[in-house]
C-alpha cells in the first residue's frame, strides 16, 4: 500500500554527510521524495513509497540522526505519486 509521510527535525551539524547517507538509504528502500536541508529552518523530508519501506526509512532516520536539537515530528499525508526519485535540496544561508 502506498504511503506518503513528512518528517521535520533540526540538527547541530549540517556538514557531516547525513544528507548523502539518507539519500542512499532512500534509494536502497525504494523511497522517492525530497530532503530540504537548511541550517536556518532545519530538515524537512517528504517521502513516498510502499508503507513498509516508508516505515523502515523512518526507523533508519531515527537511528542515524545525531545531535538532534528538536524532536522529530512525523506526519502521514495523502499519497500523491508526485516524486520520481529522491533528491536533496540544500539551502544556503
* pLDDT score of 70: 61
- Helix (H), strand (E) at residue 88: strand 86-90
How many structural domains compose the chain?
Answer: 1
For 63-81, what is each residue's pLDDT tens digit?
887 766 566 677 777 767 7
Triad 89, 63, 35: Cα angle to 5°: 10
Q: How many CB atoms neighbour CB 62 within 10 A?
A: 13
The three cell numbers of residue 90 are: 540544500
The 10s digit of each residue's pLDDT in 30-53 is 999 999 988 777 889 999 999 899
- Asked if 45 contacts 6 with a C-beta cutoff of 8 angstroms, the reply is yes
Query: Which CATH number covers residue 61?
Result: 3.30.70.100
pLDDT averaged over every residue in the chain: 84
- What pLDDT score does 7 carry? 85
**pTM (2 decimals)?**
0.83
Residue 34 CA from chain centroid, whole number: 7
What residue numbers bound the domain in which 15 lies? 2-90
Residue 71 pLDDT: 64
Amino acid at each position: 500500500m502506498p504511503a506518503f509521510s513528512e518528517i521535520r527535525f533540526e540538527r547541530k551539524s549540517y556538514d557531516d554527510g547525513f544528507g548523502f547517507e539518507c539519500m542512499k538509504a532512500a534509494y536502497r528502500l525504494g523511497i522517492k521524495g525530497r530532503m530540504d536541508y537548511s541550517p536556518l529552518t532545519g530538515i524537512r523530508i517528504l517521502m513516498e513509497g510502499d508503507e513498509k519501506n516508508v516505515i523502515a526509512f523512518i526507523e533508519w532516520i531515527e537511528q542515524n540522526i545525531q545531535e538532534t536539537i528538536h524532536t522529530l515530528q512525523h506526519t502521514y499525508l495523502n499519497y500523491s505519486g508526485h516524486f520520481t526519485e529522491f533528491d536533496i535540496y540544500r539551502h544556503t544561508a
